Amino acid sequence: QKLLAADPTNTSLQAQIVRALAAQGKFSTAKPIVDEAVKQSPGHPELIKLQWGVYRALGDWKAAIPIGEEMVKHDTAAADTVFYQQLVAAYLSDSQPVKAQEAAARGANKFQNNATLWITVAQLARRNGQIPQALDAINKVLAINPKYPGVNLQKAAIFSEQDNVDSLKET
């Protein structure tokens, strides 16, 4: 950190210090450093990714969510399945289940063959009272992997919520 005081615009050094502090669990100490680094180098993918990690580790969901969304604007490769799962978790931790469902749907649409993202869409749609969307997502899971754990139970629960006894008998 003393080196950083001598060269406060050195993004490589800033990133190294943030990673070292994060490895020690000192996220509160890393936060102002990564914030300043991102401020000095807006759009720098590595720094924004570090900032995303620091804010999630601190549980600062209100700030983490826009950082994550910004991160994938600058580095589309960062928008992988793990990112979408983390984004869904961030929205849920911030008590935004509708936004969580939207994030899961974006991920599932990007990764069409990812049954885990589709099951997440289904569960969130059910939670949000969007039963037709939940059934559509469950059917996508079944098309990807008919033996996905619990998928038939999820489908039966949806039919039950629809009072669709005839379809429930078929499940």
Q: DSSP string covering 27-39, please?
A: HHHHHHHHHHHHH
Q: How confident is the model at residue 12 (pLDDT cuts 50, 70, 90)?
A: confident
Neighbours of 29 (CB within 10 A): 15
Q: Output the pLDDT for position 161.
A: 84
Q: Output the pLDDT for position 11.
A: 85
Q: Are 148 and 142 in contact (CB under 8 A)?
A: yes
78 three-class SS: helix
Backbone angles phi, psi at 149, to 5 degrees: -55, 125
Pair of tokens at residue 125: 């749609």
Angle between helices 115-127 and 131-144 (to 10 degrees): 160
In angstroms and rounded to an integer, the radius of gyration of the C-alpha atoms of the chain is 20
Could you tell me how many residues make up the chain? 171
Query: Within its chain, how far is the Cα of 113 from the centroid?
Result: 17
Instruction: Give 72's Cβ-side CA count (13 Å radius).
Output: 18
pLDDT digits (tens, 9 = 90+) for 39-74: 999 999 999 999 999 999 999 999 999 999 999 999
Listed in sequence order, the DSSP H helices in 41-129 are 45-58, 61-74, 81-93, 97-110, 115-127
Look at residue 163 and tell me whether its pLDDT is greater than 90.
no
Q: What is the mean pLDDT of residues 86-110?
A: 98
